[in-house]
């Protein structure tokens, strides 16, 4: 397939034009090859490029690609990454906020489904929903430990039950400030230093499950979608990051 045909399809699914993002969503580096195999991964890195080359990939699809919408200077590690991808003729696709927010393929919708939330409503690039049963916070933590087996699931507990649960993957702990009176439980990727006291003062149960771990779902789902729709060979490459 041609890179622009894949981009057009992914754009029709993710609607990047609806987001004011920190990066360009779509083709970030245009390659010179017809695409038969795609490697997916969470973050663009030299290690991922190396795995893609070994796998014989013609394209790389990531959630964390190249940030910044305009480039006036490429230097250091980023220059080396880009230089290598260009020399190999590989196409780099990156989708950031659209892949957090998407229903049904995105990171946050996937987590909500995994823990059994219903009555989902979009909130920022995440979702708020309720559990069909009056779930204990300890039971919710057990579910998160099952979904994120390689992570130490963190919790600032302020009540016994989780009623309205908000999920925003990645580095979203600062969103906690806005959730008072809107949700009683918040699941984030990362935790910030002020989070503990804000959680205590607002009475919100706060979970953190890892930035990387919370953002694996979207690229895996898109890879499966490309395989099913276009019979492309797709391989998810795990460059695990405990943060």
For the annotated binding site for a divalent metal cation, the residues are 63-64, 100, 211, 215
Asked whether the beta carbons of 62 and 219 are under 8 A apart, the reply is yes
- d(CA 64, CA 44) in angstroms, rounded, equals 6
Within 13 Å and on the Cβ side, how many CA atoms surround 67?
9
Distance CA 208, CA 43 (A): 19
Rounded CA separation 159/197 (Å): 15
Q: How would you class 99 by CB atoms within 10 Å of its CB: exposed for 0-12, middle for 13-18, buried for 19 or more? A: buried
In the numeric block, which tokens belong to residue 166? 């908000």
Measured distance CA(179)–CA(151) in Å, rounded: 25
Known binding positions: 63-64, 100, 211, 215
Return d(Cα 14, Cα 75) in angstroms, integer.
Answer: 31
CA 63 to mean position of chain CA atoms: 6
Q: Sign of the C-alpha dihedral, residues 61, 67, 69, 73? A: negative
């Amino acid at each position: 397939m041609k890179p622009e045909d894949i981009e057009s399809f992914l754009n029709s699914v993710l609607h990047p034009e609806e987001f004011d993002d920190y990066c360009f969503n779509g083709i970030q580096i245009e390659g010179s090859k017809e695409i038969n195999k795609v490697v997916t991964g969470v973050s663009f890195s030299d290690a991922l490029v190396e795995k893609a080359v070994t796998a014989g990939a013609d394209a790389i699809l990531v959630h964390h690609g190249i940030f910044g919408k305009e480039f006036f200077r490429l230097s250091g590690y980023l220059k080396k990454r880009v230089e290598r991808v260009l020399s190999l003729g590989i196409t780099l696709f990156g989708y950031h906020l659209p892949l957090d927010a998407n229903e049904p393929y995105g990171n946050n919708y996937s987590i909500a489904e995994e823990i059994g939330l219903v009555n989902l409503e979009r909130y920022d690039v995440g979702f708020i929903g309720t559990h069909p049963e009056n779930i204990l916070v300890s039971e919710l933590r057990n579910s998160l430990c099952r979904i994120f087996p390689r992570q130490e699931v963190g919790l600032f507990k302020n009540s016994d039950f989780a009623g309205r649960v908000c999920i925003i993957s990645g580095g979203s702990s600062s969103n906690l400030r806005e959730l008072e009176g809107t949700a009683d439980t918040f699941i984030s990727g990362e935790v910030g230093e002020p989070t503990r006291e804000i959680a205590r003062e607002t009475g919100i149960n706060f979970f953190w499950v890892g930035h990387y771990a919370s953002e694996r779902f979207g690229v895996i789902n898109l890879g499966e979608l490309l395989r099913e729709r276009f019979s492309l060979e797709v391989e998810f490459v795990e460059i695990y990051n405990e943060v």
